[in-house]
């Protein structure tokens, strides 16, 4: 029955995707992050829905007379296009035209194209809000569902795999949900409808439970950093840090023994086989980089070349063993695609952070800019979550990262367009401003007495 419902829903939505390409982008995002097709059990699960939705959406865009901009003209969009070219060159330089490389490269190319398309389609505050709601509700669904199941099981349940696609691996699932927590919190706090606000805020602790149940240590550390960034950007840092400490202690006391023991191994990496495998992979990646600094060993061919560069294999009496992935997004793209690609990848992260920080500096001294400040905090915390989480994961081609870079670019462009209107966002003297005389009830010529008060802080509360 699920297969029939999902199939009818998606087929019925295709004509709308053609007429309104932005709706197609929303549906594509729903399929990417909520994985509707993976919630079925039969024929609908095997159909390439994302491909058909993208095909119809792009056809509608090029046939439309209203949608004229495919992508924004920005350094980050240029970097993404050059990065695709370097990935292709890394394959050609190392293996030549090999048909076996086509599926992996096409998947990466698709990720970049969707990210570029997002910068062009998300061109208003309303569209930005809609696509963020789609992504947020997708993460809320899995956070709530898995969190409730984990609580009902007394914490004995372990999530060994995610729903599918880019979220299939339990570590990737934990990383994506960790990036979703700032979205759930900030959008929930800003929601005016009480039912929706409470529903999203309830999903925050349940999502934290879900991340813990994946037993992903990298996901736990990344989630903690994202929460710390939100607290640091709040008006009540001390209270927030104290609350974070209390929640952390309470969580450890209430968490099942298996989760606590797994987290304790973070400080015992010398004795942990998984941590030692990561360190071994990092050393192997360093050898690949030394030998192939220009073009790497070829996109998605880290494991194929692993034994050639594993230092332990060449030690006397040490036979070749298992191969591993890079377990580090930065070393992965550096070893596979070379130094230029690695530097471009880092530039996407750095440029996104700098753009958010500059926008925050501009908005702090404007009236009515609290939504901009809240969104900068949300994007900054989510991006920081990915930056730390990807130190331990092989996710240089993570869909959500490139989509997030695109959404940050769209957001800062929209926000600056609105800030350019001095009537809607008048300037003020400072974040708190000087003491301003006000009239209060009491004595005086007009029956009032003078007093002083400070202007309220602009930034939304945590």
The DSSP secondary structure of 62-111, one letter per residue, reads HH-SS---SS--SHHHHHHHHHHHHHHHHHHHHH-S-GGGHHHHHHHHHH
Predicted local distance difference test score (pLDDT) of residue 276:
79
For the segment 143-200, what is each residue's pLDDT rounded down to a tens digit? 999 999 988 888 778 887 888 777 888 889 999 999 999 999 999 888 888 888 899 9
List the chain domain ranges. 1-68, 73-427, 437-462
pTM of the model: 0.87
What is the average pLDDT across 331-356? Answer: 96
Residue 40's pLDDT band, with cuts at 50, 70 and 90, is confident
The Cα–Cα gap between 234 and 11 comes to: 44
Q: Which ranges of 216-309 does DSSP label H, i.e. alpha helix?
A: 217-232, 237-254, 257-264, 273-291, 306-309
Predicted local distance difference test score (pLDDT) of residue 315:
54
Helix (H) or strand (E) holding 453: strand 448-453
Number of H helices, E strands in the chain: 17, 2
- 329 versus 443: which is more confidently predicted? 329
Cβ contacts of 186-195, under 8 Å, gap ≥ 24: 186/230, 186/374, 186/375, 186/377, 186/378, 187/132, 187/133, 187/136, 187/378, 189/374, 189/460, 189/461, 189/462, 190/371, 190/374, 190/460
For the segment 88-132, what is each residue's pLDDT rounded down to a tens digit? 999 888 877 778 888 889 999 999 999 999 999 999 999 999 999
Residue 453's pLDDT band, with cuts at 50, 70 and 90, is very low
pLDDT of 330 > 90? The answer is yes
pLDDT of 391 > 60? The answer is yes
Predicted local distance difference test score (pLDDT) of residue 430:
52
First to last CA, the chain: 43
The Cα–Cα gap between 426 and 24 comes to: 37
What is the average pLDDT across 424-445? Answer: 51
pLDDT of 447 > 50? The answer is no
Contacts of 385 (CB under 8 A, 6+ apart): 175, 178, 179, 181, 182, 222, 223, 225, 226
Predicted local distance difference test score (pLDDT) of residue 268:
58
Contacts of 58 (CB under 8 A, 6+ apart): 21, 117
What is the average pLDDT across 72-81? Answer: 95
What is the average pLDDT across 58-62? Answer: 94
Residue 56's pLDDT band, with cuts at 50, 70 and 90, is very high
Residue 52's pLDDT band, with cuts at 50, 70 and 90, is very high
pLDDT of 350 > 90? The answer is yes
The Cα–Cα gap between 61 and 188 comes to: 32
pLDDT of 451 > 60? The answer is no
Predicted local distance difference test score (pLDDT) of residue 434:
39
């Amino acid at each position: 029955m699920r297969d029939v419902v999902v199939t009818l829903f998606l087929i019925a939505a295709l004509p709308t995707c053609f007429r309104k390409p932005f709706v197609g982008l929303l549906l594509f995002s729903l399929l990417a992050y909520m994985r509707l097709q993976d919630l079925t059990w039969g024929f609908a699960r095997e159909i390439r829905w994302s491909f058909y939705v993208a095909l119809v959406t792009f056809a509608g865009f090029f046939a439309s007379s209203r949608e004229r901009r495919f992508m924004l003209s920005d350094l980050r969009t240029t970097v993404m296009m050059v990065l695709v070219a370097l990935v292709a060159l890394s394959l050609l330089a190392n293996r030549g035209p090999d048909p076996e490389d086509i599926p992996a490269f096409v998947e990466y190319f698709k990720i970049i194209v969707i990210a570029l398309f997002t910068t062009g389609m998300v061109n208003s505050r309303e569209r930005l809000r809609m696509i963020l709601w789609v992504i947020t509700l997708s993460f809320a669904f899995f956070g709530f569902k898995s969190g409730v199941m984990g609580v009902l099981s007394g914490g004995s349940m372990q999530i060994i795999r995610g729903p599918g696609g880019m979220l299939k691996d339990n570590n990737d699932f934990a990383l994506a949900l960790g990036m979703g927590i700032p979205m759930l919190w900030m959008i929930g706090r800003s929601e005016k409808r009480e039912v929706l606000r409470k529903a999203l805020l309830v999903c925050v602790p349940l999502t934290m439970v879900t991340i813990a149940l994946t037993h992903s240590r990298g996901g736990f550390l990344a989630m903690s950093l994202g929460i710390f960034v939100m607290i640091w950007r709040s008006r009540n840092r001390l209270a927030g840090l104290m609350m974070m400490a209390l929640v952390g202690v309470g969580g450890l006391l209430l968490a099942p023994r298996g989760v606590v023991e797994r987290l304790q191994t973070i400080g015992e990496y010398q004795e942990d086989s998984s941590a030692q495998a990561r360190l071994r992979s990092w050393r192997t990646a360093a050898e690949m980089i030394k030998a192939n600094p220009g073009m790497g060993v070829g996109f998605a061919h880290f494991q194929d070349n692993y034994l050639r560069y594993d230092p332990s294999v060449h030690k006397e009496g040490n036979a070749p063993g298992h191969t591993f992935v890079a377990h580090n997004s930065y070393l992965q793209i550096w070893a596979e695609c070379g130094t230029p690609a690695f530097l471009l990848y880092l530039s996407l992260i750095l440029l996104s952070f700098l753009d958010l920080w500059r926008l925050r500096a501009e908005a702090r001294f404007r009236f009515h800019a609290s939504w901009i400040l809240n969104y900068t905090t949300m994007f900054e915390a989510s991006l920081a979550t990915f930056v730390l989480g990807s130190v331990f994961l092989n996710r240089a081609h993570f869909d959500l990262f490139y989509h997030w870079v695109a959404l940050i670019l769209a957001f800062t462009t929209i926000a600056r367009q609105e800030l350019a209107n001095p009537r809607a966002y008048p300037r003020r003297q400072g974040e708190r401003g000087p003491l301003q005389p006000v009239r209060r009830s009491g004595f005086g010529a007009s029956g009032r007495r003078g007093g002083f008060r400070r202007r309220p802080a602009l930034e939304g509360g945590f």
